[in-house]
Structure 1
Amino acid sequence: MASPHPVAPTASPLPLMQLATGFWAFKTLATADELGLFGMLDRLGGGTVEECAEELEIGTRPAGMLLTGCAALDLLERRGDGRFVNSALADAYLVPGRPYHFSGWLRMLDQRLYPGWGRLGEAVRTNRPTTWDPDKQLHLFDTEDPGLLSVFWEAMHAVSSWTAQRLGEVVDLTAGTRLLDVGGGSGAYAIELCRQHPGLKATVYDLPKVCPVAERNITEAGLADRIGTLPGDFLAEPALPGGHDVIVLSMILHDWDEDTNRMLLDKCCAALPPGGTLVISELMVDDDLTGPAPAALMSLNMLVETEGGRNYTAAEYTSWLRDAGFSEVRKVPFEAPGANAAVVARR
């Protein structure tokens, strides 16, 4: 028989409350970005609640709530005169036109992934993605709105640029001369790594419709003389392009199942010369499968977005690399938005 006076748990429910309301913080950020709040504050040098309401064409009540919410999230600061201004974080990443503008990533999360994650239970029960329909679409972005695809590449460039900087600081590529960025997308890794290593040249290898995106970014970065693009399908082609002594796989392997990844690693090994280097940059799950949270949740994102992908452990990569013929495999931890470690191997 249950006690009429149950003993209260000693653990606080606050962590559960924070988990349960986590989307509140995201939607506050996403809405402020959608309204153009951070760009407006930068342009005006700050504003009161009333001034912001007028500029954003919203009521003073929601304006005050939104500004307070953003201040509570350290996105804004309130000065003594009552004017709100962008915090250093918002100034660096949320103002349009900044080199590492993060807005594309926020819009991708809000417009594509947020609805898909709303059906996570369905994805878990069916083992099928919820952001697209494999029965009706050929791939992830088949029939996708061109505007949202543009947002996707902007998002990937922002996340990848910052991640590539951190990777270049912890992985020594000074011995490399030619880098192949397999599935290089917007060209962010090639751009940042070539900036850090003046003696390095690079090739971005991706689908024909993706290469123009990389070409624009490469030209804007002033690196067209050192970075080229090469259209192709790294899964369908029998071999990867040769002539490179470094290959980078950044946020590629989490899209695919083990068999596909092993096939790709075999291709990498065949394409590299003896002594060549392969770098895998990913959010890696701990070997004991207990975290960390960013990698574990990104793995669930692969359930929502892909048919067979997930985030893998460094131990899994190490095993596959050795089976493919690589040696001197090592894990190099670092912290970045798109990766928490690199696995580096020698051909």
Structure 2
Amino acid sequence: MDDRPPYPPASPADAAHGTPPVDPLFALTSGLWASQALVAAEAVGLFTFLSQEGGAGAAETAEGLGIPARPAEMLLTACASLDLLRRDGERYVNSPVAEEYLVRGRPYYFGDYVRMLQHYVYPGWMRVTDAVRTGRPTRQAPEPDKGLFEAENRPELFWDGLYPLSALTGRALARAVDFGAGRLLDVGGGGGAFAVELCRYHPGLRATVYDLPHVCAFTADRIAEAGLSERIGVHPGDFFADPELPGGHDTILLSMILHDWDEPRNRELLAACFRALPSGGTLVISELLVDDDKTGPADAALMSLNMLIGTPGRNYTAAEYGQWLRAAGFDGVRTVPFRAPGANGAVLARKP
């Protein structure tokens, strides 16, 4: 707990008039500094270096990373202040979080996600005011006449970066929802992280990842690396262009998909899912759900603004999903809360 007085220190007059401290605003305005400190540390390989060396001082770090001594010391201090490093005598060592997620080669290495944000997401955020004023995305599409998720507009960097976020979210979803031993269709399954994690946790489950052809080529390699090619297949397609979704599945998963699209498109996709499922089949929507009163939570609300930057969508409430699902013909709608980087709940529905 931080016992320091508020900044600036409250005067007796401030206290008498109930003036709130400015700390929350200062934390918000300096948030960019913290994120970019992480970007810089990852870019120079700080956490991987410290893991390999078992820790290092400022001079050793400067020499090992090939950077000047002054920024090496400042970067180490900044990362320690953010609880990414800790001091061990005269040396800095990775915190447990950094050692687990920021060392290259670890199973859930998050560095690709950090790089994806820096090169793909943050530039649009620098123009968020324009997006708010116009209602149009500010992330520049290299090929504006092509689809949002075509290879020209979503480089491999995007899929590499999204994989660890999806994997950690998929792992949490697997514990929260019983997918059983049937067949799962992961619609818009990207790199296959959800299918991999769900199949690892549910040994009787088999899955198909349905996504654009160029994405499926990337996905097949990821599935093979996980040693699950016999249980997870890929089906190239386009869920807005194909006449029907692939059939023969007991469960359909829409994870981090519906926030990309507006309400008419989402209703169209939910109707396609209804047609593709057998009677008794289940639809699972996994997302960062906005509270029904639309006051938060912060991660879902900020992800919604992130959708404004680059897509026609936003993050929706469980109540909104429930309304659309019932209109599509589903019943038994319920929400299962859980915590993960890319979702805080799953909305489940059944086809009668």
Q: Is contact 2:334–2:349 with CA below 8 Å preserved after alignment?
A: yes
The question of 1:40 aligning with 2:49 is answered yes
- Counterparts of 1:95-134 in structure 2, within 5 Å, are 95-133=103-141
Verify the 8 A CA contact 1:164 1:193 in the aligned structure 2.
yes
| Higher mean displacement: 131-140 or 180-189 | 131-140
Match of 1:346, as an amino acid?
A: R
Task: Please say if residues 108 and 155 of structure 1, whose CA atoms lie closer than 8 Å, have aligned partners that are also in contact.
Answer: yes
Whether the 8 Å contact between 1:277 and 1:346 is mirrored in structure 2 is: yes
Deviation of residue 280 (structure 1)? 0.2
**1:283 alignment partner AA:** L
The amino acid that maps onto 1:332 is V
More displaced, 198-207 or 6-15?
Answer: 6-15
Counterpart AA for 1:226: R
Alignment match, 1:289: 294
Distance 2:121 2:313 in 1: 16
Gapped regions of structure 2 (runs ≥ 5): 1-12
- TM-score relative to the length of structure 2: 0.93
**Amino acid aligned to 2:193:** A
Q: Which residue of 1 aligns with 2:327?
A: 323
Partner AA of 1:127 in structure 2: G
Aligned to 1:54: 63
Superposition deviation, residue 173 in structure 1:
1.4
Would you identify which runs of 4 or more consecutive aligned residues in structure 1 move more than 6 Å?
Answer: 5-8
Distance 1:140 1:48 in 2: 46
User: Cα distance, 1:156 vs. partner?
Assistant: 1.2
Q: Give the secondary-structure state (helix, strand or coil) at the position aligned to 2:339.
A: coil
Which of 151, 158, 172 is the aligned partner of 2:164?
158
What are the superposed Cα offsets for residues 92-133 of structure 1, whole Å, 9 maximum, x if unpaired?
100000000001110111112111101000111111111124
**Alignment partners' CA distance in 1, 2:26 and 2:186:** 42
Query: Structure 1 residue 198 and structure 2 residue 203: aligned?
Result: yes
Per the TM alignment, residue 198 of structure 1 is displaced from its structure 2 partner at its CA by 1.0
SS at 1:26 equivalent: helix
Quick one: which of 79, 85, 92 aligns to 1:76? 85
* In the alignment, structure 1 residue 27 sits paired with structure 2 residue 36: yes
Cα contact 1:137–1:143 (8 A) shared by 2: no
Q: Kindly provide the amino acid, as one letter, of the partner of residue 272 in structure 1.
A: L
Amino acid corresponding to residue 51 of structure 1 in structure 2 = E
Taking structure 1 as the reference length, the TM-score comes to: 0.94
- In 1, are the aligned partners of 2:151 and 2:214 still within 8 Å (CA)? no
Q: Distance in 1 between matches of 2:286 and 2:231?
A: 22
The Cα of 1:150 is off from its aligned counterpart by 2.2
Please tell me the residue identity of whatever aligns with 1:72.
S
Deviations 1:47-98 (CA, angstroms, capped at 9, x unpaired): 1100001111111111111001001111111101x11111110011000000
Q: Tell me the matched-pair count.
A: 338
For residue 144 of structure 1, report the CA deviation from its aligned partner: 4.4
Shift of 1:213: 1.2
Which residue among 185, 210, 217 is the counterpart of 2:222? 217
Deviation, structure 1 residue 141:
5.3
**1:340 deviation in Å?**
0.5
Q: For 2:229, what is the secondary structure of its paired residue? A: coil
Partner of 1:65: 74
Tell me, yes or no, if the aligned pair for 1:327 and 1:345 is still in contact at 8 Å. Answer: yes
Q: Does 1:173 align with 2:173?
A: no
Matched, 1:336 2:344: no
Greater alpha carbon shift after TM alignment, 220-229 vs 7-16? 7-16
Secondary structure of the equivalent of 2:179? coil
Following TM superposition, by how much is the alpha carbon of 1:246 offset from its aligned partner in structure 2, in angstroms? 0.5
Preserved contact between residue 132 and residue 140 of structure 1 (Cα < 8 Å): no
Residue 143 of structure 2 contacts residue 152 of structure 2 at CA under 8 Å; is this kept in 1?
no
Identity %: 58
Over aligned residue pairs, what C-alpha RMSD do you find?
Answer: 1.7
- SS state at 1:121 partner: helix
Find the counterpart in structure 2 of residue 232 from structure 1. Answer: 237
Q: Alignment partner of 1:154: what SS?
A: helix
Provide the residue aligned with 2:4 in structure 1.
Answer: none
Q: 2:305 aligns with which of 300, 306, 310?
A: 300
Q: Residue 272 of structure 2 aligns with which residue? A: 267
